[in-house]
Structure 1
Amino acid sequence: MSIREERGLSAILPADQSVADYLADHPDFFERHAGLLEQLRLPHRSGAATVSLVERQVSVLQDKNRALDHRLRDLVAVARSNSALSDKVHALAIRLLRAEDKSSVLDGLERGLREDFGASQAVVVLFHNTSEIVQGVKTRFLRSVDRSDAALQPFATFIQQSRPRCGRIRDVQREFLFPGENEGIASVAMVPLGRKCEVGILAIGSNDPKRFNPTMSTDFLARIGDLASAALAAASHRLEAARGGS
């Protein structure tokens, strides 16, 4: 760029800024000079022609409206999804409330996850007081281990954090939770049962790698964990009370 061109550009830029500043300070300018709006021409976004300033403003507003409409549709879809999940959690709560003992609690939990939530692969790992509950519960759904079992070492961080986790898990974790079926499990939701997994772990597996991902909300999973652990604790209390009264 020549010195003359640089000087010309430096003279234009302050002038452009002055015009912009003036229009910003006088928002009623085009109301007092309405005819200018039709005279001002801007390149069309496609580059094929020119349009008036008013037409450009209309185009910009239409784009904004479309973006807002898409956003609103997304919010409505999320609200409907949350409402459906809330209904399913409510139905699960009723199942668990009707359960009279631990065996019934686990059976209701397994049925609710399979029938209401479409969970084809799920397992509950209980850490203590399991001697009386295995009858009537599918062994595929129930695992009982000592809390000090070395097989739980790969879950140490999850147990300590005590919050639901979604996504891919390590092979050793997947093999422990879903023995013999780990190759078909692409994503997993792990839910603590009780504080620091005091009761155990609930794990739900899916062959869809996107079904459970680290970015998804875990609020409803946490509610399911709270319901299950509370129902199991209540069943234990009833059993202890019955033994004490006999």
Structure 2
Amino acid sequence: MNHDAMNPITEEDIANYLANSPDFFERNAELLAAVQLTSPHGNRAVSLQERQAEMLREKIKMLEHRIMDMVRHGNENMIISDRIHRWARAMLLVQSSRALPATLVAELQNQFMVPQVALKIWDVDERYAQDPFAQGVSEDAKTFASSLTQPYCGVHSGFEAVNWLDDPATAMSVALIALRPGAVNSPGPAFGMLVLSSPDPQRFQAGLATDFLERIAELASAALSRLRPR
């Protein structure tokens, strides 16, 4: 490095020199022992080796926290997957098509501990047209269901579908899940909608990941397809 009084050596010059001279500290090993740094855990001075050890411990602690978060999320996902499995199994065991909607709702409440669940389906086979699950749905509610390309999670904002619940007044947060043939985000019209609600405003809060709700929508749609005209 060639510098004069007009161009003094900068920290960047020193850093570049050390980065490009890996044998510098081998030739000047005594400097490593002489370097003193300020500890992040107080004002005391520590050696370079001690500071490196502290940084390494901090990185290890951060990685441990990340691993624990991954394990926790993995366990939570496994529990949810197991509940979806048991719920789907219960629907497959239903022999009467007419009993399927009630079983679907009851098992959702039991497996996922949802305080209230309601289900309405339309465009059903004429054999089921007078059943309670096929009654009391306005054209506006059908249009709204068809507009949902993913489950809605958030506060109750005057949705007609919330009135399908036994106790709409206690629905502080809701999940509205459109049912349609194929994938939940397919462009086709919906033929039904599931309503999940909780008195806990945070249970179905806006921004909640909807992956598992989408799986529920697809499984429910497939199971309920037997109620539709052939």
Query: How has the CA–CA distance of structure 1 residues 52 and 218 changed in structure 2, closer, same or farther, with 3 Å as cutoff?
Result: same
Distance 1:70 1:45 in 2: 20
CA distance in 2, matches of 1:175, 1:229: 20
Post-superposition offset of 1:179: 6.4
Counterpart among 198, 210, 220 of residue 202 in structure 2: 210
Deviations 1:27-83 (A, max 9, x none): 343344332222100112244311111111111111111111111111111111111
Where 1:42 maps in the other structure, the secondary structure is: strand
Q: String of CA shifts for 1:3-36, please: whole Å, max 9, x gaps.
A: xxxxx9x966x43221111111123433443322
CA contact (8 A) 1:126 1:145 kept: no
2:94 equivalent to 1:107 = no
Normalising to structure 2: TM-score of the pair? Answer: 0.82
| Deviations 1:126-169, CA, capped at 9 Å, x for gaps | 1222764489x8x6xx46345xx25527x62x522432122224
The count of aligned residue pairs is 220
Q: Alignment identity in percent?
A: 30
Q: Is the helix fraction higher in 1 or 2?
A: 1
Whichever residue aligns with residue 219 of structure 2, its letter is L
Paired with 1:110 and 1:179, the residues of 2 have a C-alpha distance of 12
The residue number in structure 2 matching 1:119 is 114
**What are the residue-to-residue correspondences of 1:55-134 with 2, within 5 Å?**
55-129=50-124, 132-133=127-128
TM-score scaled to structure 1, two decimals?
0.77
Aligned equivalents of 1:190, 1:66: Cα separation in 2 = 41
Mind listing any 5+ residue stretches in structure 1 that lack a counterpart? 1-7, 241-246
SS at match of 2:174: strand
- Unaligned residue ranges in structure 2 (runs of 5+): 182-187
Match of 2:157 among 138, 156, 170: 170
When residues 27 and 164 of structure 1 are mapped into structure 2, their CA distance, relative to the original with a 3 A threshold, is farther
- Looking at structure 2, the residues matched to 231 and 175 of structure 1 have their Cα atoms a distance apart, in angstroms, of 23
